[in-house]
Amino acid sequence: MMKIEPLYPKYESYLKDESGLTGEADGIVFPQNTEALATIMRTAAEDRRRLTLQGSRTGLVGGAVPGGGLVVNLSRMNRVLGLEKKGDKDLLHVEAGATLEAIALAAAPKGLSFVPNPTEQSATAGGMFAAGSCGLNGLRYGAGHRHVEALHWITPGGEIWQIRRGEYIFDESSCSLPGGRRIRCEEKWASLPRAARLPQKGQDLIDFLAGSGGRYGAVAGLWLNLLPRPRELWGVLYFFSETGSLIRFSEALLEWSKTPAGQQLTAAEYYDRATLELLAGARKRSSLLQKLPPLPAQRAAVYLELSGDDQGALESALLDNYELFCDAGGDEDDTWAVNSPTEVQRLQQLRHSVTELLNAASTAAAKEQGLPAGRLETDFTGPPEKLAQYLESYRSGLARAGVRGYLYGHLLQNNLHAALLPQDSAAWDRSQALIRQWGKKALQDNGLLISEHGEGRLKEGLLESLLPPEAIAARETLVARFTAL
Ligand SMILES: Cc1cc2nc3c(=O)[nH]c(=O)nc-3n(C[C@H](O)[C@H](O)[C@H](O)COP(=O)(O)OP(=O)(O)OC[C@H]3O[C@@H](n4cnc5c(N)ncnc54)[C@H](O)[C@@H]3O)c2cc1C
């Protein structure tokens, strides 16, 4: 039988993740293989004991924060089991607790990589899958789970399934499952908002399970589709002093990204002025920032990555988008363009620093002001063609509410994160109202309320207040059906 250990004092930090929330639990268990995880889940189901699955606890929304019951931490199921050739695909088989760093290390000697480059490198493959994590290169490669070819999945009742991409697809009323059973869904669910994340006709079971934060079971192992690393990689940081030029550039870039030359664009990340100021303010204490030129003041920026194997085609694509930038009225003198791996990596780390700095700032601000713990940050996705409207609505909303806010994220996917740092409890209330107002807009546009950060305790109230009751009921029905399997 699996050893259940007390949380205090040794494992107290396992009650937290990067959301700023702290939970409670009766004990913690560290399964070391798939069978052990299945046994824990089966026993917990029989005893009706609540489980909280954890990878590396880098999640931003409290999905790994327990609310009683048992913590199941998968960090000791962290083996990289090997690279397999399947047709023309290179599949890396890993346990769910393998970190993205370990995956990158295993892939690199073969000239391969897990290209979506989804997130914080200490995150686990299972956490990345369960959170639906995206990351820098999501613009071209989609979320990390799109590159999962097969899974070992454990049902809430402790059954072990092997699921291969393409084998189990939802139709309008059900999906076949391993072992010859079916999971039922209702045809009327098709008319409910996409944001409810209910199954859609034609959807692969793997993609449906991704981003579900452990509601329908646990991932124990993954076969990741690795791709050859592109030979050439450029990182370009464009600065803008006027919102008008930024919007013109973004709109032109969106159209250009649909052309053959635009296929080389793999990342387009936005930083508003406040975010650049946050970075600039951290210069003294950041060795990364000290290696970069000072960030120009009073500017917003767009970071682009372009990659490919054909140097000539890539350079011509770079010139194309530089022209778009100049035509839009960007600040030509301030452009940074780099192509050595070390320099590109620094610009990627700059993006990463934003999340780190905001994590630290929001935890400190909540503590100082005596406000409820937990990051106040949006993860909405609207239609890409409405980007200008969304930018304006974030900007004017923050100004009206009088709340300190930072806007950054995936520009061309219109998945921008507005991180709010209220200065007192009245501003905290206004921040909540503002987040709901932005969420309503995303919902009206059939966008997403949760995109890459996954489901977690910080998002429960938002979903309940914005989704129609039928959508909430349908989500609960589906959990009950998976639990009853
Ligand atoms: C500095 C920083 C930068 C980040 N940048 C990005 C970014 O660019 N893009 C992005 O998308 N995210 C980003 N994140 C968020 C975070 O890294 C991701 O959500 C990550 O994928 C979570 O992985 P984890 O192993 O830490 O999972 P955890 O935080 O431990 O868990 C996340 C969720 O997955 C569930 N879970 C974990 N393992 C399993 C499993 N095996 N089976 C079923 N459910 C499981 C948990 O219950 C929880 O709901 C960032 C975080 C930090 C701290």
- Report pLDDT digits (tens) over 183-208: 999 999 999 999 999 999 999 999 99
Residue percentage of the chain with pLDDT more than 90: 94
**Which residue minimizes the CA distance to atom 21 of ligand 1?**
128
> Which residue bears the tokens 């089966």?
42
Residue percentage of the chain with pLDDT more than 70: 100
Quote the pLDDT of residue 346. 95
Do 262 and 332 lie in a common domain? yes
**Which residue minimizes the CA distance to atom 35 of ligand 1?**
213
Quote the pLDDT of residue 334. 81
Question: Ligand 1, closest atom to CA 130?
Answer: 34
- Taking the alpha carbons at both ends of the chain, their separation in whole angstroms is 24
Is 252 inside a domain boundary? yes
Question: Ligand 1, closest atom to CA 219?
Answer: 42
Dist CA 144 CA 118 (whole Å): 6
Q: Best mutation site among 53, 224, 288, 352 for ligand 1, i.e. most ligand atoms within 8 A of its Cβ? A: 53
Residue of 334, 341, 332 whose CA lies nearest to 307: 341
* DSSP assigned state of 48: T
Domain count within the chain:
3
Quote the pLDDT of residue 1. 59
Dist CA 111 CA 231 (whole Å): 10
Quote the pLDDT of residue 298. 85
Torsion of CA 123, 129, 130, 135, to 10 degrees: 60
- Tokens representing 416? 């921008």
C-beta of 135 in contact with ligand 1 (< 6 A): yes
Residue of 272, 268, 274 whose CA lies nearest to 249: 268
Cβ partners under 8 Å of residue 342, min gap 6: none
C-beta of 96 in contact with ligand 1 (< 6 A): yes
**Which residue minimizes the CA distance to atom 20 of ligand 1?**
128
Question: Mind giving me the DSSP string for 69-115?
Answer: SEEEE-TT---EEEEEEETTEEEEEEETT-BHHHHHHHHGGGTEE-T
C-beta of 31 in contact with ligand 1 (< 6 A): no
Quote the pLDDT of residue 445. 98
- Report pLDDT digits (tens) over 68-99: 999 999 999 999 999 999 999 999 999 999 99
Do 385 and 318 lie in a common domain? yes
With 0.85 as the threshold, say if the pTM is over it: yes
pLDDT band at 135 (very low <50, low <70, confident <90, very high): confident
Give the CATH number, domain containing residue 152: 3.30.465.10
- What distance in angstroms lies between residue 126's CA and the mean position of ligand 1's atoms? 8
Beta strand 218-228 with 148-154 is antiparallel
- What distance in angstroms lies between residue 93's CA and the mean position of ligand 1's atoms? 19
8 Å CB contact between 92 and 104 = no
Do 84 and 213 lie in a common domain? yes
Q: Residues 4-7: contacts with CB within 8 Å, 24+ apart?
A: 4/28, 4/29, 4/70, 5/29, 5/30, 7/71
pLDDT band at 118 (very low <50, low <70, confident <90, very high): confident
Q: Is the pLDDT of residue 328 over 90?
A: yes
Dist CA 44 CA 158 (whole Å): 9
Q: Best mutation site among 16, 29, 58, 122 for ligand 1, i.e. most ligand atoms within 8 A of its Cβ? A: 58
Q: To 5 degrees, how large is the angle CA 128–CA 131–CA 132?
A: 80
CA dihedral over 348, 97, 54, 216, signed as positive or negative: positive
Rounded average pLDDT over 149-154: 98
Do 66 and 111 lie in a common domain? no
Rounded average pLDDT over 264-292: 95
C-beta of 131 in contact with ligand 1 (< 6 A): yes
Quote the pLDDT of residue 332. 78
* DSSP assigned state of 135: -
Question: Ligand 1, closest atom to CA 53?
Answer: 47
> Which residue bears the tokens 């045809």?
187
Dist CA 94 CA 443 (whole Å): 36
Domain that holds residue 256: 232-454
Domain edge (last residue) among 181, 199, 229: 229
8 Å CB contact between 130 and 210 = yes
Dist CA 261 CA 435 (whole Å): 37
Helix runs in 89-186, H state only: 100-107, 125-131, 138-141
* DSSP assigned state of 160: E
Do 399 and 320 lie in a common domain? yes
pLDDT band at 119 (very low <50, low <70, confident <90, very high): confident
C-beta of 320 in contact with ligand 1 (< 6 A): no
C-beta of 357 in contact with ligand 1 (< 6 A): no
Do 221 and 239 lie in a common domain? no
Is 120 inside a domain boundary? yes
Domain edge (last residue) among 168, 198, 229: 229
Is 463 inside a domain boundary? no
Is 136 inside a domain boundary? yes
Give the CATH number, domain containing residue 30: 3.30.43.10
CA dihedral over 10, 14, 20, 23, signed as positive or negative: negative
Domain edge (last residue) among 229, 248, 271: 229
C-beta of 119 in contact with ligand 1 (< 6 A): yes
Do 346 and 400 lie in a common domain? yes
Do 173 and 248 lie in a common domain? no
Rounded average pLDDT over 267-290: 95
- Report pLDDT digits (tens) over 279-288: 999 999 999 9
pLDDT band at 39 (very low <50, low <70, confident <90, very high): very high
Do 22 and 138 lie in a common domain? no
Dist CA 287 CA 478 (whole Å): 48
pLDDT band at 331 (very low <50, low <70, confident <90, very high): confident
- Tokens representing 151? 């899974």
CA dihedral over 195, 201, 206, 207, signed as positive or negative: negative
Do 58 and 89 lie in a common domain? no
Question: Ligand 1, closest atom to CA 96?
Answer: 41
Question: Ligand 1, closest atom to CA 356?
Answer: 1
On average, the pLDDT of the chain sits at 95
Do 269 and 375 lie in a common domain? yes
Name 22's bridge partners: 16
C-beta of 207 in contact with ligand 1 (< 6 A): no
**Which residue minimizes the CA distance to atom 5 of ligand 1?**
119
Is 335 inside a domain boundary? yes
Quote the pLDDT of residue 2. 75
Give the CATH number, domain containing residue 285: 3.40.462.10
Name 27's bridge partners: 70
Is 472 inside a domain boundary? no
Do 88 and 39 lie in a common domain? no
C-beta of 456 in contact with ligand 1 (< 6 A): yes
Is 479 inside a domain boundary? no
Is 361 inside a domain boundary? yes
For residue 344, with 0-12 CB atoms within 10 Å meaning exposed, 13-18 middle and 19 or more buried, which class applies? middle
8 Å CB contact between 464 and 449 = no
Q: Is the pLDDT of residue 213 over 80?
A: yes
**Which residue minimizes the CA distance to atom 44 of ligand 1?**
214
